[in-house]
Amino acid sequence: MQPPSRRTFLALGLLLTTGGALTACTDSHDGKDATEGEHRRPDPDEPVRLRAVAATDTLLAGYDALLAGPGAGQAAQLQPLRAEAAQHRAALAAGLPGAQASSSAASASATPGSASPSASATGGAAAAVTSTAALASLERQTAQTRLADLGAASPQLARLLASVSTAGVLHAVALGDTAPPTVPAPGPGSASPSASGSLSPSSSGAGSSASGSPSAAPSGAGSAAAVGPEAVTAFQTALSAEHAAIYGYGVVGARLPEDQQRADARTALAAHQTRRDAWQRLLGGAGATPNAAAAGYQLPFPVADAAAAGRLAAHIETRLTTVYADLVAAVDGTQRTTAADALRECALRARHWGAAPTAFPGIPDPAAAPASGAPTAAPTPAATG
């Protein structure tokens, strides 16, 4: 899924740039020193970044071991995934002092079979990766570890962790592991929002399939009692985006033949209706009046046939990944896990509908993004009249 371009923000009213845009970064802190030459200030995100970098080093070592051995013939599949993992490491290591920061560049440029810092640091873990199935499992496990630190991270870092975790799930799916991730118990020093919370389907069997197929029901929303004013605004934004998605899927379903594609569209529509209902309940419980749907929405392009309908579905889900990545940064506690869950579900559905891959689902590439974190676009409905 390519990061959304400004030119397509008008689509479906999901991502109109407005003065009230939801800011993904609540402050200018990005883990970097304020002034070069100044004494380095303690960074509360540093322990989280170090854990994330260490997990990524293990993952990169696994790729290197497989590419240097049994997976050499699968380089065309594995090397792009490894390159994305190296991008993740560079983003997670941003602002770390000394060897940790400099080794991220070395990991990104290391070639399979070379003595990269990641491989030398985690040789034992790499030795266990002797098949794509083992690597897929390691990708999924690494994605899970990102989620355990959501509650301990600053808003911007939590947003990055949720995006990178989602990318890891997409990698695992590409490698054949369709098991949904669960949130592990937090590590030392972590303040996980939920040690036992799960991103897997609910006990009733409804949930988001890690295979990328649309699912009928997302996991529940966070506690309404914990919703503050800023979070209310963010959830209203998410609710408006779900209203637009539901409208869009009505168009998608009408243009698809009565086959598996239409069944998938119905399932995705049901998932968005469930998510809409969850946000309405949460907002109502917090004493807010939930945003209503607009009378209609402007489509990003004509949808006259099944091919265009599939593109529209991919477009809807891709735009929603941006909404939910921003929601991760705007809320606290268990609500971050809920928002990360929604981001993952939308990314999997976007993949199912054929959206192009991206290393950072829902956010711009941190290497190209401005350090101050410019506001992202808000999902304001665009009524057609």
Sequence spans of domains, the chain: 6-352
**pLDDT confidence band for 100 (50 / 70 / 90):** low
DSSP state of 199: -
pLDDT for 227 equals: 77
What is the average pLDDT score of the chain?
78
Whether residue 177 is predicted with pLDDT greater than 60 in this model: the reply is yes
- Residue 293 has which token pair? 């749907």
Q: Which residues contact 198 (CB under 8 A, 6 or more apart)?
A: 182, 183, 219
3-state secondary structure of 198: strand
pTM equals 0.77
pLDDT for 213 equals: 54
Tell me the sheet residues that pair with 182.
198
**pLDDT confidence band for 121 (50 / 70 / 90):** very low
**pLDDT confidence band for 42 (50 / 70 / 90):** confident
- Residue 34 has which token pair? 């304020």
Tell me the sheet residues that pair with 198.
182
Number of C-alpha atoms within 13 angstroms, CB side, residue 163? 35
CA distance 374 to 365: 13
Q: Which CATH class name applies to 6-352?
A: mainly alpha
pLDDT for 95 equals: 86
Calculate the CA 75 to chain-centre distance. Answer: 25
Whether residue 147 is predicted with pLDDT greater than 90 in this model: the reply is yes
- Residue 74 has which token pair? 């699968």
Nearest to 180 by CA among 150, 201, 149: 201
**pLDDT confidence band for 363 (50 / 70 / 90):** very high
Where on the phi/psi map is residue 54: left (φ > 0), alpha (ψ -120 to 50), or beta? alpha
pLDDT for 103 equals: 55
Which contacts qualify for 366-372: CB closer than 8 Å, 24 or more apart?
366/90, 366/91, 366/94, 366/160, 367/87, 367/90, 367/91, 371/28, 371/30, 371/32, 372/25, 372/28
CA distance 290 to 309: 29
Whether residue 193 is predicted with pLDDT greater than 80 in this model: the reply is no
How confident is the model over 275-310, as pLDDT tens digits? 999 999 999 999 999 999 999 899 999 999 999 999
DSSP state of 176: T
Mean of pLDDT values over 204-230 = 52
Q: Which residues contact 19 (CB under 8 A, 6 or more apart)?
A: none
pLDDT for 320 equals: 99
